[in-house]
A and B are shown apart, each in its own frame.
Chain A
Amino acid sequence: MAVLAAEGSAIDALGQFRLAHGLGEIGGAVNFTNANEIMLLAGAVLLGLLYFGMKPRAIVPGRLQALVEYLHDFIYNMCLDQIGEEGKRFFPFIFTLFTFILIGNLLGLFPYFFTFTSHIMVTGALAILVIVLVTLVALRIHGLRFFTYFFPAGVPKLLAPLIIPIEILSYLSRPVSLSIRLFANMTAGHVMFEVFASFMIMLVGALGAFGYVLAVAPLAINIALMGFEILVAFLQAYVFAILTCIYLHDAVHLH
Chain B
Amino acid sequence: MPRRLATLLPFFLSFPGLALAEGGKKGMPQLDFANKLLLSQVVWLAIIFFALYLLLSQWGLPRVASVLAERARRIKGDLDAARAAKQTADDAIAELNAAARHAHAEAGAAIAGATERAKREALAHASALDARLKADLEAAEARIVAAEQVAMGALREAARETTVTLITRLTGLAPAAGAVAAAVEQALAARAVG
By a beta-carbon cutoff of 8 Å, the part of chain A in contact with chain B is 9-15, 17-21, 30-33, 35-36, 39-40, 43, 46-47, 50-51, 54, 57-59, 65, 68-69, 72-73, 91-93, 95-96, 99-100, 116, 118-122, 125-126, 129, 183, 187-188, 191-192, 194-195, 198-199, 202-203, 205-207
Contact status B64-A11, CB under 8 Å: no
* Dominant SS among interface residues on chain A: helix
How many Å from the CB of B143 to the closest CB on chain A?
104
Contact of A33 among B14, B44, B61, B71 (CB under 8 A): B44
Given contacts A13-B20, A121-B30, A195-B14, contact A59 B70 (CB under 8 A): yes
Q: Are A203 and B29 in contact (CB under 8 A)?
A: no
- Scan residues 5-48 of chain B and give those whose CB is less than 8 A from a CB of chain A: 5, 7-11, 14-15, 18-20, 22-23, 26, 28-31, 35-46, 48
Residues on the A chain within 8 Å of B44, using CB: 31-33, 36, 39
14 contacts between A and B (CB under 8 A): A13-B18, A19-B38, A36-B41, A36-B44, A46-B60, A50-B56, A57-B70, A59-B71, A92-B57, A95-B61, A96-B56, A121-B30, A206-B4, A206-B5
What's the tally of chain B residues with a CB closer than 8 Å to chain A?
49
Kindly list 20 other residue pairs between chains A and B, CB separation below 8 angstroms, not including A96-B56, A183-B30: A11-B10, A11-B11, A11-B22, A14-B19, A14-B22, A17-B28, A18-B29, A19-B37, A39-B44, A43-B48, A43-B52, A46-B56, A54-B63, A59-B71, A92-B61, A95-B56, A120-B30, A125-B46, A126-B49, A192-B18
* Residues in A whose Cβ lies below 8 Å from that of B11: 11, 195, 198-199, 202
Q: Residues of B contacting A191 with CB < 8 Å?
A: 18-20
Question: Contacts of A58 on B, CB cut-off 8 Å?
Answer: 67
Q: How many A-B residue pairs have CB under 8 A?
A: 162
Q: Chain A residues with Cβ under 8 A from B46's Cβ?
A: 125
The 8 A-B residue pairs with the shortest CB-CB distance, nearest first, are: A14-B23, A31-B40, A92-B57, A13-B19, A36-B44, A19-B37, A50-B60, A206-B4
Given contacts A33-B37, A72-B65, A96-B53, contact A14 B10 (CB under 8 A): no
- Give Cα A58 to B64, complex, Å: 11
A121 near B23: Cβ-Cβ < 8 Å? no
8 Å CB contact of B41 from A12, A19, A126: A19
What's the Cα separation between A92 and B41 when bound, in Å?
23
Contacts of B65 in A (CB 8 A): 72
Q: Cβ of B15 and Cβ of A50 under 8 Å apart?
A: no
Tell me the chain B residues, 98-142 only, with Cβ under 8 Å from chain A: none
Is the beta-carbon distance between B52 and A35 smaller than 8 angstroms? no
